[in-house]
Amino acid sequence: MTGIKRSSKQILPMVIGSTLVLGLIWLNTFIHQNSFSDSYGDFSFLIEIIPAISLATLLNTLVMFRPAVWQSTYSTADCAQDAAWGAIAMMALLFCEIGGQGNVSFFSYSSVVLGSFTFPKRYIYDFWVIIWFPIQVDAILRAMKHEDFSRDAQQNGFTSLFVMTLEELLFFQAMPNIWQFDLLLLNTFTLAVAVWKYVPTEYAEKSILHVGLYAIIRTLCLPLQLKLPVEGDTICMLSSNWETLRVAVREIATHAAFFGTSDFLKVSADAHYWLADNRTPVLQLLYYGGWAAVIGLTLVLVGFIWVLVKLVDFRNARVHKEWSVYATAAGMLSYRAVCGMLYGFGAPWPVTLPFLGRNSLLDLSVFALILWGAWENIQISRHQHLEDTFVPAETLLDAGDQLHCQVHNPDGTPCTTDYLFDEPVLVSGKEGELSCTADEYALPEKSFTVFTTTVDSRTIRFILEHEPDEWVLPDSSTNELQQQVRQRYSAYHAPVSMEGVHTDEYMEEPYDEDPETV
């Protein structure tokens, strides 16, 4: 029952988080309908949920069905080789840009240019930050762990990470300065969570130094990426934009009421001018709802960050295959929530609050991806308590003075199948016939069958020993063998999102019909 209770506790944050997101979407709709010259319908932002779910499904498919070799046989040498191929591909793109004479550009502008076709890199940015980079870092650290963090493994891993980082810096170097800082912070966060997931505790101090060294190197590379500000500008904002924001914040915050719109702001032409078509949700709320509304938004965002922490579930970090991806996604939304509020109060750090920007498609897609990860966490939590569902067979079955048990097919005929795999059967029990599914596991010494049924809305499992043409209650002498069966059953039925399961050795053993070959 522990697993069921824990699952219920994990579902609650999913419901609360979805409710908070819907509330933020409503707020974004309200602001745009009242402060923007363009027309926005009541469902202008809500309908983005549909394409967001589709995009999140696509992203999650890319995460789940990445090449299997990345999860089992992918070595650090493979990482280094792929990094080399990636570097060659980037060089080829660079030569294409040089020969394109302005008609082809992959690096010089904030958009990819192919003749008359342009594609903004900001749409590639989120995919890179929360999908591609975490997957690559995950693959590198997983391979290093499989090779026991040997010297060669570390050299190959660090080389792969270094090359991938250079590719990222080259591709996004034309983006605004704030995007460069975002990349630095989020990439470092991704590396930190991946290191925490894969590196053993005894190497924790050394691994922290490596993460810190990566952050220092990335920071030293910033002058090569950033556009240097002119006199009066901040590193992330032009002086005119920041000065306008500071004046607006000072004016509106000083004269805002605690509830509702103050009389001063109602007639302030400057306030109306600043807020028209301006994506500053904090100032908009100060105008329409006063400080109470801003405090409410702050509490909502604090609650949202708490929900993200619950959804990611650090307890499953080391057993959840794609945990680094979901943790990075949650980290990105949390970062935008915190920095978006600071920007709303005049900090020169132009980050948009999640779900309160020009559109919510990418934010919704990221949140849907996190929800999917939370659902995988629930499945993992349930599986971790799978052995608690096994009960002694005699508590359910009435074998009388005999150890023999009656097993039938659903049509009532005796079950004579030599090998069972997820087969529906009927087993004679104390309260009548039990409807079960049967899975057989052959050990060198004996053959056993695991039966799964539902009693009083609770899923339970029991084991019977399979002899030729009959099943018998196992005796105490087979306890160790039954434990092996439970372990094999648990390994085979583990969610695909768990680390270390569904490898060839686990997949082949349950299917082997010849006990001598197992």
> Do residue 255 and residue 361 come from a single domain?
yes
pLDDT confidence bin for 62, thresholds 50/70/90: low
Quote the CA–CA distance of 111 and 333 in Å, as a whole number: 24
For residues 131 and 419, the model is more confident at 131
Give the pTM. Answer: 0.84
Residue from 135, 33, 132, 122 nearest 74 by CA: 135
pLDDT confidence bin for 404, thresholds 50/70/90: low
Q: Which of 117-131, 147-161, 471-485 has the lowest mean pLDDT?
A: 471-485
Residue 92 to residues 95, 98, 229: CA-CA distances in angstroms?
A: 5, 10, 32
> Do residue 510 and residue 457 come from a single domain?
yes
- DSSP string covering 304-365, please? HHHHHHHHH-GGGTTTBTTHHHHHHHHHHHHHHHHHHHHHHTT-S---PPTT-SS--HHHHH
Q: What is the mean pLDDT of residues 105-114?
A: 86
In tens, the pLDDT along 301-334 reads 999 999 999 999 888 888 888 899 999 999 999 9
Considering 228, 258, 287, which residue would you say is the last residue of a domain? 228
Residue from 15, 11, 17 nearest 337 by CA: 17
Residue range of the domain that includes 394 = 387-517
Per-residue pLDDT for 17 more than 50?
yes
Residue type, 277: D
> Do residue 321 and residue 353 come from a single domain?
yes
Number of domains observed in the structure of the chain = 3
Q: Which residues pair with 466 in a beta bridge?
A: 471
Quote the CA–CA distance of 463 and 473 in Å, as a whole number: 8
Per-residue pLDDT for 401 more than 70?
no
Name the DSSP letter for residue 420: -
> Do residue 438 and residue 454 come from a single domain?
yes
Per-residue pLDDT for 148 more than 50?
yes
3-class secondary structure per residue, 257-302: CCCCCCHHHHCCHHHHHHHCCCCCHHHHHHHHCHHHHHHHHHHHHH
Considering 228, 244, 278, which residue would you say is the last residue of a domain? 228
For residues 88 and 478, the model is more confident at 88
- DSSP string covering 246-258, please? HHHHHHHHHH--S
> How many residues are listed for the chain in this entry?
518
To the nearest whole percent, how much of the chain has pLDDT over 90? Answer: 20
For residues 415 and 119, the model is more confident at 119
Quote the CA–CA distance of 307 and 294 in Å, as a whole number: 20
> Do residue 185 and residue 206 come from a single domain?
yes
In tens, the pLDDT along 185-237 reads 999 999 999 999 998 887 778 888 889 999 999 888 888 888 776 666 667 76
For residues 83 and 49, the model is more confident at 83
Considering 207, 228, 249, which residue would you say is the last residue of a domain? 228
In tens, the pLDDT along 234-255 reads 677 655 577 778 888 888 888 8
Alpha-carbon 34 to chain mean position: 35
Per-residue pLDDT for 117 more than 90?
no
Per-residue pLDDT for 506 more than 50?
no
Q: Which residues pair with 461 in a beta bridge?
A: 390, 452
Name the DSSP letter for residue 228: P
> Do residue 268 and residue 245 come from a single domain?
yes
Mean pLDDT of the chain: 82
> Do residue 163 and residue 62 come from a single domain?
no
For residues 500 and 379, the model is more confident at 379
Per-residue pLDDT for 164 more than 80?
yes
Quote the CA–CA distance of 190 and 178 in Å, as a whole number: 18
> Do residue 246 and residue 266 come from a single domain?
yes
Residue 288 to residues 230, 267, 299: CA-CA distances in angstroms?
A: 36, 13, 18
Q: What is the mean pLDDT of residues 276-280?
A: 81
Asked if residue 396 lies in contact with residue 473, where contact means CB atoms within 8 angstroms, the answer is no
Mapped onto helix, strand or coil, the DSSP state of residue 201 is: helix
Strands in 117-120's sheet, in edge-to-edge order, are 104-105, 111-114, 117-120
> Do residue 89 and residue 183 come from a single domain?
yes
> Do residue 168 and residue 195 come from a single domain?
yes
Quote the CA–CA distance of 353 and 233 in Å, as a whole number: 23
pLDDT at 183: 92
The DSSP element (H or E) to which 177 belongs, if any, is helix 177-198
Per-residue pLDDT for 405 more than 50?
yes
Strands in 421-429's sheet, in edge-to-edge order, are 404-405, 470-472, 458-467, 447-455, 432-442, 421-429, 407-408
> Do residue 357 and residue 422 come from a single domain?
no
> Do residue 96 and residue 13 come from a single domain?
no
3-class secondary structure per residue, 63-132: HHCCCHHHCCCCCHHHHHHHHHHHHHHHHHHHHHHHHHCCCEECCCCCEEEECCEEEECHHHHHHHHHHH
Residue from 226, 143, 152 nearest 184 by CA: 226
The 10 Å CB-count burial string (b at 16+, else e) for 263-279 is eebeebeebeebbeebb
